[in-house]
Amino acid sequence: GAVVSQHPSWVICKSGTSVKIECRSLDFQATTMFWYRQFPKQSLMLMATSNEGSKATYEQGVEKDKFLINHASLTLSTLTVTSAHPEDSSFYICSAREPGFSTDTQYFGPGTRLTVL
Amino acid sequence: SQQGEEDPQALSIQEGENATMNCSYKTSINNLQWYRQNSGRGLVHLILIRSNEREKHSGRLRVTLDTSKKSSSLLITASRAADTASYFCAIIIQGAQKLVFGQGTRLTINP
């Protein structure tokens, strides 16, 4: 199946700093990518849908000014957590689907563990 | 909530036994999917069952779907220690273009 990578796999930062997480589709072009957040022992919660060349669509309750999403190319979407605070510590996972396919099958990245001190 | 709800939340069985996990949902769906997540890792797609299907098999996995009861089950036969993971059901809500995940079942296979 298609491969999606994330970088970094883990990051520790100080409160107030910004952190950028990259999501790449390695062997296919993804017009749409999705960003999820997962707290320990909980499920994945969709944060936003990232569309190449246009603004992301954020889920209710997700601050778009805090979680900046850029999908500048067909193989790369980035999530920037601005002015991170300890409550932003979480596991962030992206997924991507190939153009021409429905949302039926998404390919997930390995996730990024963010710890804010 | 439109999310799938899973039970049990946690399941611990002996290697070789069968494991059954259930998922219920509240809305009309196009399909239902099951994913596996090893601790601290990404998700692996296991199987997709469409709303007009009742049962689907993939290796040691068997998934059923009852749209009248809005429920699905995942059966793992002849479990192995490597099956230890969290299992999530996810649905595509009709008219939407996004996956909505259930709360997950944490499965532990004891050797």
- Indicate the average pLDDT of chain A: 91
Please name the member of A32, A41, A104 whose beta carbon is closest to the beta carbon of B31. Answer: A104
CB-based contact B42 A49, cutoff 8 Å? no
Asked if A91 has any chain B CB less than 8 Å from its own CB, the reply is yes
Asked if A43 has any chain B CB less than 8 Å from its own CB, the reply is yes
CB-based contact B41 A111, cutoff 8 Å? yes
What is d(CA B63, CA B54) in angstroms, rounded to the nearest whole number?
A: 8
For A29-96, give the secondary structure using H, E and C. Answer: CCCEEEEEEECCCCCEEEEEEEECCCCCEECCCCCCCCEEEEEEECCEEEEEECCCCHHHCEEEEEEE
CB-based contact A49 B97, cutoff 8 Å? yes
Buried b (16+ CB within 10 A) or exposed e, B30-40: bbbbbbbbeee
Residue A1: pLDDT over 70: no
Task: Give the tens place of pLDDT for each residue, B60-109.
Answer: 999 999 999 999 999 999 999 999 999 999 997 666 678 889 999 999 99
Q: How far is CA B70 from CA A44, A53, B28, in A?
A: 21, 37, 8
Residue of chain B whose alpha carbon sits nearest to that of A111 = B42
